[in-house]
Amino acid sequence: MGGLLYSFAFAGVAHLLFLLIARVLARPLRLDVIERAVIIYTNAGILVIPLVNALLGADYVIYSCAFLVIQQILIWTHCRSLLCGTGGMEWRKILLNINIIAIAIGCALFLLRIELPDFINQTLNTTGSMLGPLGMLLAGMVIADTPLTRLFTAPRGYLAAVLRLLFCPLLTVLLFRAVGAANLIADGKNILMTVYLACITPACATVTSLAQLYNRDAAHSSALYVLSTLLSIVTMPLMIGVYDWLI
């Protein structure tokens, strides 16, 4: 429980940092709403659970839920407001979002110490193992529909990609080091890494869906998603190395 609250706290800190970065840099770098959303929102929903499971083990997956809960709420509040240009919250979409429902059920099982039968656990484990490959399949479908020549020759795309993949993660790990975050709780380095892994993933695929929904430049959002996903093959191992070095 302490580790879960700890991960919620620093997932909140990370999101506040991303919101601040996008706000501060918006005017000097002339960032449009799509680029600001790309800087703030990561593809953690698809990538973080397989990454945590592979790097740290299944026992740490529950801590990654903190980042996902906060991001889902912000996507349907801040991100929606940013893209459609209006305020207000769609509480129904937040509370009935399948990710939030699944996380709530999982937390309830955890808190109430309810153990599921083996055949249910095996089914869920098998289904959960599909998440990483399915995410890569979806990314591949988007990449296949994107003209790579135009993608790699557009200088503007690299700005948002660098901010998402390098600048934000570097500031995040420096902030974690400055406050001594890893030393605040037992096993703090590993639990904190579940938050950091979510911070270093590429642009969020949901931003493209929302851009289509609210008649924004979905093609621009899709291009940034593809570019950041391809570049993350290099930047994510680099950022994990930086984390191990500094934390």
pLDDT value of residue 237: 94
Mean predicted confidence (pLDDT) in 165-176: 95
Query: Is the pLDDT confidence value at 211 over 70?
Result: yes
Q: What is the pLDDT of residues 214-244, one digit of tens each?
A: 888 777 888 888 889 889 999 999 999 999 9
pLDDT band of 113, cuts 50, 70, 90 = confident
Angstrom distances, CA of residue 107 to CA of 43, 100, 180: 22, 10, 27
Quick check: 81 and 219 in contact, CB under 8 A?
no
CA distance 59 to 62: 7
* CB half-sphere exposure, 229, CA atoms < 13 A: 25
pLDDT value of residue 24: 94
Query: Is the pLDDT confidence value at 78 over 90?
Result: no
Mean predicted confidence (pLDDT) in 165-189: 93
149/50: higher pLDDT:
50
Query: Is the pLDDT confidence value at 176 over 70?
Result: yes
CA distance 135 to 118: 26
**Cα–chain center distance at 71:** 7
pLDDT value of residue 141: 74
pLDDT value of residue 115: 85
Most trustworthy range by pLDDT among 79-83, 179-183, 238-242? 238-242
Instruction: Tell me the whole-structure pTM to 2 decimals.
Output: 0.84
Query: Is the pLDDT confidence value at 210 over 70?
Result: yes
Dump the DSSP string for 172-203.
HHHHHHHTTGGGSSTTHHHHHHHHHHHHTS-B
State the chain's mean pLDDT as an integer: 86
Start-to-end CA span in the chain (Å): 23
pLDDT band of 139, cuts 50, 70, 90 = low
Return the SS3 of 163. Answer: helix
